[in-house]
Structure 1
Amino acid sequence: MTKQPAQNNAIGNLLIQICKLRRNKSNALLAEAEIHSGQDALLYHLSIEDGQTVSSLVEKLCIQHGTIASMIERMETSGMIKKEKDANDKRTSRIYLTPKGKEALTKIARVWKTMESLTTKGLTEKQENTLRELLQQVLINLK
């Protein structure tokens, strides 16, 4: 008979704790940079392809249309993005980065780099690579 790990050391429980702590720390660092949770991902996707439709962003961010509509409104008010009607289809809106949004991307990059450093602090390069490989396998397993 295989010995079961103690519940607090179960892989699932450890992953939950890590995800919560990482999200909370990341959100705190983003808040210091005056960026709300989730806005970093939206700005990142716009940096890859500016002028995306709302529907495209909903799909990429895996969030509800109502949630992204509120986020876009807040970010437009703060000046990070602008929303414009599509030139060919007036029913469709496209979202664009503004200069302020591009500045925010620099702050986001710093936060993400800090989070990567905190996550791997104390690990050797070999351990980091092993962790990355193991997490990639877990990701594959759960898809």
Structure 2
Amino acid sequence: MVNNTLEKSEFETLSHFRYQLRRFLRVSEEIAQTADITHLQYLLLLHLKGFQGREWATVSELAERLQSQHHGAVSLISRCEKLGLVKRKQSKADRREVEVHLTPKGDEIVAKLARMHKDELLKLQGIFQVPGFAK
């Protein structure tokens, strides 16, 4: 018989992790507000800038990264496009696909906000190991 009961210390660890995660997300929302954008708009910009191997992503790829429905990603992209943060281009490789690219304004904003997020993550590094960041 498998024992599925967690120890008190495991509950404490999970609780502490969720608390720190929620704290980071709250601070992230505040950081995004300094640039007059929402945290979801920041995440879209971040996923574009951080997409592995290229400087753009498709709508479907962004929906996956954001863990949202396709139509939700389209709406978010439209709002960012109206703010001049991103632009859409028809794919040259596959005319059915739309590529989403950062504009210079979007690139500037995501760089500034990512730096602020990195600083916040470094504060958490003493609590949790944050891979890929050096002090």
TM-score normalised by L of structure 2: 0.74
Q: Which runs of 5+ in 1 are unaligned?
A: 137-143
How many angstroms apart in 2 are the aligned matches of 1:51 and 1:16? 32
CA distance in 1 between counterparts of 2:18 and 2:116 reads: 21
**For 1:86 and 1:22, how far apart are their aligned partners in 2?**
36
**Which residue in the other structure is 1:107 paired with?**
112
Query: Is 1:30–1:111's contact at 8 Å kept on the other side of the alignment?
Result: no
Q: Report the 3-state secondary structure (helix = DSSP H, G, I; strand = E; otherwise coil) of the residue aligned with 1:40.
A: helix
**Structure-1 residue corresponding to 2:66:** 61
Alignment match of 1:40 (pick from 39, 42, 50): 42
For the residues of structure 1 that align with 2:124 and 2:37, how far apart are their CA atoms?
Answer: 21
Structure-1 separation of matches of 2:118 and 2:56: 26
Residue in 1 aligned with 2:87? 82
Deviation of 1:4 (Å): 4.5
Structure 2 gap segments, 5+ residues each? 1-5
Cα RMSD (Å): 2.8
TM-score relative to the length of structure 1: 0.71
Structure with larger Rg: 1
Mapped to 1, the partners of 2:89 and 2:45 lie a distance apart of: 16
Aligned mates of 1:109, 1:16 — CA distance in 2: 22
Q: How does 1:1-143 map to 2 (within 5 A)?
A: 4-5=7-8, 10-48=12-50, 49-120=54-125, 123=126, 131-132=128-129
Tell me which protein shows more helix as a share of its residues.
1
Q: Which amino acid aligns with 1:90?
A: R
Listed one character per residue, the Cα deviations across residues 67-104 of structure 1 (whole Å, up to 9, x for unaligned) are 21121011001000001222354332110111101111
- Matched positions, count: 124
Identical counterparts, % of pairs: 28
Contact 1:54 1:94 in 2 (8 A): yes
